[in-house]
Structure 1
Amino acid sequence: MKAIAALLALTALSGCGLTPLYGGGAGGPVRTTMAAIDVAPIEGQAGWLMGNALRDRLHVGQASAPRYRLEVRLDDQITGLGVRSDDSVARERRTLRARYQLIDLATGTVVLDATAGSDAGIDVVGSEYATIAAERSALERLSGIVADQIVARLARFARADGDR
């Protein structure tokens, strides 16, 4: 019975026009385009985290001559939200926004210009060390989240570029 249901589900999906983003595996247009993106250095601690996250996600074990350069500018801010009766901050919001451009190295033209971002809440506690550790942990998580957003957009670009 389960096999019949699975077969019917596959039949229904085949008619909807959806195709796998990473179709073709390691030799597919998306994977080869992603491996050919060089990530330019990004300033600051947030930039170091973001650059590593992007390289980990883009180059997944493949070496290729760069065809594109990804330039990223980050805006990392911490804003106090909640205030206690003694006028100290009780909660913070860390916001990480990225404006990124994908540049074709052969022509020097910008082929993709977009933004990505996310934010995280941080409880401010009595220990300054714990608060700083929470802020750094939030930055690490946000770097991964924003890198995932960037890579997803780059994959859609690569898919559309591969269909041309």
Structure 2
Amino acid sequence: MNRFIAPFLLVFLLPACGLQPLYSGGSKGAVAGTLGTISVAPIGGKNGWLMRNALNDRLGGQENNAPQFRLVVVLDDQIEGFGVRADDTVTRERRTLRARYQLIATATGETVLDATAGSDAGIDVVSSEYATIAGENSALENLTQKVADQIVTRLSLYARGE
């Protein structure tokens, strides 16, 4: 009997915990409205192109809104071999993607947020060079998605006032 009462009582305690949805109000909410006014500055290189597209997809900038903020991102992309055989050939690589990003208010030029985000992925090095390069490219695509998620989450917290 107590097994069934305890979850029922927890339902009444949840509103008291202080949790609030980040995107309350949906596309008309404060967070979505602020994210829609962020323009992403061009980022050089293939990794920059992937990152800018991932950020633009997540920010959902609307054409009607004049940009109130500019997001400047500088990427550090490194591949490092760390698994080594007896004959000194690398068997495993780690691709690390780090981003330093700044949110700049366009009206004042003031940097309102300066932060970093990053992630890494392991890559198997196989006898086929093509397969290894394909693995490196796939890792880069996945890493840009993860880092873009981290950046947008932090921007959302800023937009909410945290």
TM-score over 0.5 (shorter chain)? yes
Correspondence 1:56-71 to 2 at 5 A: 56-59=57-60, 62-63=62-63, 64-71=65-72
CA shift at 1:67, angstroms? 0.5
Residue type of the alignment partner of 1:124 = V
Shift in CA distance, 10/26, structure 1 to aligned 2, threshold 3 Å: farther
Shift in CA distance, 91/156, structure 1 to aligned 2, threshold 3 Å: same
CA shift at 1:7, angstroms? 6.1
The residue aligned with 2:151 is 150
CA shift at 1:12, angstroms? 1.3
Structure 1, unaligned runs of 5 or more: none
The residue aligned with 1:128 is 129
CA shift at 1:10, angstroms? 3.8
Aligned partners of 2:9, 2:102: CA distance in 1, in Å? 42
The residue aligned with 1:118 is 119
Shift in CA distance, 40/6, structure 1 to aligned 2, threshold 3 Å: farther
Q: Classify the secondary structure of the residue corresponding to 1:90.
A: strand
The residue aligned with 2:139 is 138
Q: Classify the secondary structure of the residue corresponding to 1:41.
A: coil
TM-score for both structures, normalised by structure 2: 0.92
CA shift at 1:11, angstroms? 2.1
CA shift at 1:145, angstroms? 0.3
Shift in CA distance, 34/82, structure 1 to aligned 2, threshold 3 Å: same
Residue type of the alignment partner of 2:132 = T
Residue type of the alignment partner of 2:78 = Q
Identity, % of aligned positions: 66
Residue type of the alignment partner of 1:125 = V
CA shift at 1:9, angstroms? 3.9
CA shift at 1:19, angstroms? 1.1
CA shift at 1:96, angstroms? 0.2
Deviation per residue, 1:106-132 (Å, 9 max, x gap): 100000000000000000000000000
Q: Classify the secondary structure of the residue corresponding to 1:97.
A: strand
CA shift at 1:24, angstroms? 1.6
Residue type of the alignment partner of 1:37 = I
Aligned partners of 1:6, 1:52: CA distance in 2, in Å? 43
* RMSD across aligned positions (CA): 1.9
Moved more, 81-90 or 6-15: 6-15
Correspondence 1:96-111 to 2 at 5 A: 96-111=97-112
Structure 2, unaligned runs of 5 or more: none
Aligned partners of 1:5, 1:57: CA distance in 2, in Å? 39
